[in-house]
Amino acid sequence: MLPKSSNLKATQAALAKAVRLGHADPLNGYAPQRLAVYARLVRNNTFGFIDRCFVEAPNHLSATRWAETKERFIQEGKATSPYFQDIAGEFLTFCQTQTDFSADILALMDFEYTQLLAEVEKTNLTDPIAWDERTEMQLSPAAFLKSYDVDFLSSHFSQLEKAASHIIVWRNRHFQVKQQKLSELDFWLLTYLAEQPTSLSHLSQALADLIADHASLQPILAQAWTNWFEADVICPVTD
């Protein structure tokens, strides 16, 4: 049993050291067997959570390199949140401060972390309501716009192609996480809505002010607006 005289800070320090070291050497008089069980549990849960969050990135790395980076994260990383679900973000931040992975790998990891953010976003998405061209819309709180200098979606993650790509990652009302590459028009539309809620009517006028030959784009814009609304990427502004 842990000594009754131990204060909370000493206990936390001993447990953290046991996890970082990954072995059961006696620490501050605590039973090594109990520390070993605790260390294995935390380590296995941490590694397992990282592997479930980052599924595609490890396919572009050797198993040894991936395992070594996770081990270094355990030993050297700094926890900034008490919540287990924040481990993925902390691991990504740790990797971004190291030189282990290329910018392309880090971009893919950022994308996978964004998928997690969309999944855990607490916004309650309701069924679509009636709307018209004067209804103000906004980007869904469960939708995230990303821009990368690498394209991995076109190859379904099998290749990391050097090409700029704009991506939307979102969760729909059926709790499905989806992603899609964006055309320039779609990226402009969704970026506009992310910055300021607006109506289709107002946005059409903004497009007319921006592009002289805009008439041919208006029906395309209207169709894109409808498609993104039906996909739960944009939603009406609520009070």
| Residue-wise DSSP of 67-122 | HHHHHHHHHH-----S-GGGHHHHHHHHHHTSSSS-HHHHHHHHHHHHHHHHHH--
Q: Which fold has domain 137-236?
A: Outer Surface Protein A; domain 3 (3.90.930)
pTM over 0.85: yes
Average pLDDT for runs of 10 along the chain of length 239:
55 67 60 76 91 98 97 86 85 95 98 97 82 94 98 98 98 96 95 96 86 80 95 90
The DSSP element (H or E) to which 45 belongs, if any, is helix 32-53
**For 158, which DSSP code?**
S
User: Sign of torsion, CA 121 239 174 203?
Assistant: negative
Q: Token pair 């700094």 is at which residue?
A: 78
Q: Token pair 């290329």 is at which residue?
A: 102
pLDDT score of 206: 84
Domain segments of the chain as ranges? 8-101, 137-236
**CATH class of the domain comprising 8-101:** mainly alpha
Q: Token pair 């690498």 is at which residue?
A: 150
